[in-house]
Structure 1
Amino acid sequence: MEPYTTSLTCNNSRLNSRQAPLVLIARSIRSSVGLVAGAVLGGCAWAQVQAPQYNLEDTWTYERIDSLGVRTAYTETVKKIGDQFIGVRIDPEGKARRYSLTFNPIDSQRNEIERVRFPLFVGNKWKTEHEWKNSIDAGQTSSNYKVEAEEEVVVPAGTFRAFKITNLGWIDNQTAPVGPLGGKTKAEYTYWYAPAAKRIVKYEGKHLKWAPPNYIETWSSKYELKSFKISGE
């Protein structure tokens, strides 16, 4: 069975944001074989979307495509919800990973990579800067985020109404000041966050180095949601 979409109709008289702003959060619909799709809000606009609540055993399966076109599927399942983080198990490896309470990644220095900031609304902007260090490199990252639009996005899990978020920034590798991975790298990312799935459902990213007279791409990655299951729904 193919993934399918649902639709919500809106009373146009209620869509006047000056009179009564709406917060519309579409809930997922599961089919008998576990395929899911988000709601498409025909003609509706969200005023703001608040952070969702997560549950143990919430599950999302993604497919990642790397710079070489290699496809890898992986599944993340919520196994712990703490006061400051959410713990997931990543299969098939069975590895553990921590996210913030709003499901933003946390790096090795415990910096939150704030890809999504709530409440979400079109036009919102934020900037983050942090230092990082791993077993090989160390440096600084600066990011400029903007919620560009609400739009329909199609992924293997179905068709979703989503917030399109862009991130334009720089990665400054201070360990290796020169070379393809060293020095300053321009970073461009786009995320599509769907309230129906409570997660980013599509991601595209690339890194660019200045090689006069142009920037050249040195890395790229993308992933898309294949399926998901919200516990208790």
Structure 2
Amino acid sequence: MIWKTILVAFLAVGAFAQYQVTDEQRQQFKSMVTQYCKKNGAEDKVEDVENAAKSFIECGKSLFDPETIKKEIEEAKPKGALDEVFKKYCAKSPQLKTCIHTLLTAVTPCLDATLREHVTSINNATDQLIDFVCYKDGDRIALFIAEGGPECFQEKANQIRECAGKVREGVPDVDAAKKLTIQEQCAKFDELSSCIVRALEGCAAPTSGNMAESLFKYVRNGTPCAKSS
């Protein structure tokens, strides 16, 4: 259920990410958001969602520039100063959380009544994910990069895709996914996380596998799966 909230939010962002998509794609995204809002009796909220999407993109640009971050990371690696880079960006996490919450608030009227109940959970989940990454001023992500984490994920990309493919077996479409019980959803999550961790454990350094396992456990504890264990 929660994935729909995320989908609408990112469709809204995609509609205005002019530097990432073509005009045709942007119009397609906008059309999909409009249809979704109309379906849930919130056609008058489309403009609000569009404005929130624009604001979210501007927020992201003001906080993080991918090229600048990449350059800073490369310069910091030889000096052993990655922690300083991530400390600086993790200090911006409160602003990032606010940007995400504002976007989700704008999207909420376009969701059906059942999905609206999950918005608070989504906000909490995104906050927890950011907090996990920025634990101790970003020590985790600094270690992840220093120990070749990105390279490990790239090396195991095909295996990770295979993990996702296996989890989708028996769930051919959205309707089938919606019919899964909480226990079945949790089982799928556990299957996916275990498969990805096993793949990453095949890298030279154990950091990527260990961090992925910690992240999956952290995420799981913030879901109904924690109660079903």
Q: Smaller-chain TM-score range?
A: under 0.3
TM-score where L is the length of structure 1: 0.23
Answer 1 or 2: which has greater strand percent.
1
Answer 1 or 2: which has greater helix percent.
2
TM-score where L is the length of structure 2: 0.24
